[in-house]
Structure 1
Amino acid sequence: MGVTLKDIARHAGVSLATVSNVVNGYRPVGERTRQRVRQALDELGYSPNLGARHLRRGRTGLIALAIPELSNPYFAELAEIAIAEAAGLGYTLVMENTAADRETELSLLGGSHRHIIDGLILSPVRVGRAEVLARTPDTPLVLIGEGVHDVPYDHIAIDNVAASQAAIQHLVAIGRRRIAFVGATGGGDRQSAHLRVRGYREALAAAGLPYRPGLVAHTDAFGRHDGHRATRALLALAEPPDAVFCYNDLVAIGALRALAEAGRRVPEEVAVVGIDDIQEGRFSTPTLTTIAPDKREIARLAVRRLAARIEGAEVTAPLSVQTPFRLVRRESTGVPPE
């Protein structure tokens, strides 16, 4: 048989209740007593039975992360961090690929998995505020990304307007004047593509540069192929751009390929900036300048807020948190990496 809490209590010379409080965090325990219990846990090699603990509390120990595109490196990197964070809190994280499908997102909001999972982290694309407000299940929910705002749930995202402004300010600072945006779409005014176009336009205005609708390339999606096709169209203009700011790094990598095929030197003739700081951009030729969201902080906050809701711990009212980002300068804008 494995080591039990009674064994730990006997070894540490404390009550079973004290050991339980240290292991489960039910009540505060004095620091000296806590250290004695921790030492006993280490010496006897105690390993908690998380499955039994969750069952005693009427839970499964599973939480879900629902993202629109599992093959997108940004979401894959985010998921990897979230899995580790959940494990550290005693939960198993399962993945749900919504494929940006409205019915799938609605099904998840409607509680389709409520008997399987204890809570849900959702990156919505096709549902909006009205659908989230109409939600009836009491399964804890945390939202990530920019799809939905002003709802009574924890929401974690970056400031997309400010992120775009930082990218354009960098391009202006290195002397670029005909700056294109690749990756505009339709959608609502709170969707990330719309917000990034807004930041692009505001930064151009602040720099005294005209907004040229012909330099805004719309795409159906946000992959390499989309960036490649849109950039080829931009290069066919009578006055092509001298810089390309892309919706994300995958679009930017497609743009780099189109520029290489057209014989345009990067960054001498055309500079390129993306968003997401995926690993692929660190190994592209040239390496890709990008806006890097703090993926670790996004995942950490999302998992911790969800776990706090599940555990019924004292947490504040729903938070809307904008996590940090930074400009990572690389070869695609002619600046040595920091």
Structure 2
Amino acid sequence: MRPRLQDVADRAGVSMKTVSNVINGYVHVSEAMRAKVLAAIDEVGYEPNLSARNLARGRAGMIALVVPQLDMPYFASLSMHVLEAAEKQGWVVLIQQTRGDAEKERAVLAGRFGQRVDGIVFSPLRVGTDEIRQRRDRTPLVLLGERPVDGVADHVVIDNVAAADLAVSHLLDLGRRRVAMIGGPVGSTGTHRSEGYAAALTRRGIAVDPDLVVPVHSNRGEEGEAAMDAMLARLDTPPDAVFCMTDWVALGVIRSLHLHGLRVPDDVAVVGFDDIPYSTASTPTLTSISPDRAAVAREAVASLAAQQKGEHEPREIEVGFELVVRESTAGGAGLRRPAGR
């Protein structure tokens, strides 16, 4: 039979209440008693019933991670880090994707999940700050992503303006002057990454050329390739560098450049954003802004834990990033340039 709490109490010679106090981490148990009970737990092979423990605490024992697309390498990697951070808090993770569908995102804000959750880590694309502010569901919420949230909830983010500025400044430091930007949603000109792109150029006395800025419908490689194809088709002189909003877009851009007979980085240097695992397996390897995904996950889960404890004022939680220089800008050389917190 599976060992019971009573078996632990009998082995340790204490009450079941004392065993329960040790398992639940209550501080008033002496260290000697704690050690005695923990030894008894090991001896009888007792495994606490997490579902029952969470029920007693009024917790579901589960949080939700909601992202636009799980097949995007950035979100796949982020999910791994969230799972690890949540495990340390005693939570399992329900992972869902919205595919950027507004109604699915509204369902998240309404707390419509298949089962109860203790908190939500959410990366929205469509719903805005007004809808988030008006939500009635009281489940703790933390937001991810570049979009500003105006203090409606905890928001874990890197300094996207500074990160994009660092990436473009790296290209300018290499002597590039016709720096294109590919990525970002169609119809959007005010993203923080585009602000960083413009800031780096302006500081060097270079005007932003609208012909060198191309948005994409989605952050996929084929979109990057198509955008680069279109730019090369209409320009007499190609850019000598490209800043891409995501690595996946950047890999498509590199493919287009190769197919047009342009060498990377000799003719056109390319920088991506996100430092996805494929960045080190491409030819050439990809220079990229690397957000601290582990820190994003830790801070997001810690935010939910803090909100579980009571009153909580929304915060902007900034984590660090670095520029990882690889072959797509530096040829055979490579280095890491940390920035951010």
CA distance in 1, matches of 2:203, 2:18: 61
How far residue 103 of structure 1 moved from its aligned partner, in angstroms, is 1.1
Quote how far apart the aligned CAs of 1:14 are.
Answer: 5.3
Shift in Å, 1:144: 1.1
- SS of 2:63 mapped into structure 1: strand
Instruction: Please report how far the alpha carbon of residue 186 of structure 1 lies from its aligned counterpart in structure 2 after TM superposition.
Output: 4.4
The residue identity in structure 1 corresponding to 2:203 is: A
Q: What SS does the corresponding residue of 2:19 show, helix, strand or coil?
A: helix
Residue number in structure 1 paired with 2:283: 285
Kindly report which structure 2 residues correspond to 1:41-190, keeping only aligned pairs within 5 A, or say none: 41-113=41-113, 115-186=115-186
Long gaps (5+) in structure 1: none
Aligned partners of 1:123 and 1:129: how far apart in 2? Answer: 13
Which residue in the other structure is 2:325 paired with? 329
Letter in 2 for 1:60: A
For each residue in 1:82-126, what CA deviation from the matched residue of structure 2 results, as whole angstroms up to 9, or x when unmatched? 123223332221111101111111111022228532321110110
CA root-mean-square deviation? 2.3
| Residues 19-65 of structure 1 deviation map (CA, whole Å, 9 limit, x = unaligned) | 33332234354545444444443344332111122233444322211
Residue 228 of structure 1, aligned match among 222, 225, 248: 225
* Aligned: 1:243 with 2:241: yes
Indicate how the Cα distance of structure 1 residues 4 and 289 shifts in structure 2: closer, same or farther if over 3 A, else same: same
State the one-letter code of the partner of 1:82: V
Return the TM-score normalized by structure 2.
0.89
Counterpart in 2 of 1:218?
Answer: 215
Residues in 2 aligned to 1:71 and 1:234: alpha-carbon distance in whole angstroms: 27
Percentage identity across aligned positions? 46
The separation in 2 between residues aligned to 1:50 and 1:30, in whole angstroms, is: 23
Q: For 2:171 and 2:34, how far apart are their aligned partners in 1?
A: 54
- The Cα shift of 1:200 comes to 0.2
Q: Kindly tell me: are residues 316 and 131 of structure 1, through their superposed partners in 2, closer, same or farther at Cα, counting changes over 3 Å?
A: closer
Specify every segment of 5 or more residues in structure 2 that has no aligned partner in the other structure, as ranges. Answer: 336-341
Map of 1:296 onto structure 2 = 294
| CA deviation vs aligned residue, 1:254-276 (integer Å, no higher than 9, x gap) | 00100110111111111111011
C-alpha distance 21-290 of structure 1, shift in aligned 2 (>3 A): same
The number of residues matched between the two structures is: 333
1:272-297 Cα distance to aligned partner (Å, 9 max, x none) = 11011111111000000000011111
Structure-2 residue corresponding to 1:320: 316
56-65 or 67-76: which moved more? 56-65
Measure, in 2, the Cα distance between the counterparts of 1:259 and 1:30.
Answer: 67
| Alignment CA distance shift 1:128-1:188 (3 Å) | farther
Structure 1 residues 181-229: Cα deviation after superposition (integer angstroms, max 9, x where no partner)? 0013346677xxx111110000111122222111111211111011101
- Taking the aligned partners of 1:127 and 1:141, their CA distance within structure 2 comes to 14
Distance (Å, rounded) in 2 between the aligned partners of 1:187 and 1:51: 47
The 3-state SS of whatever aligns with 2:120 is strand
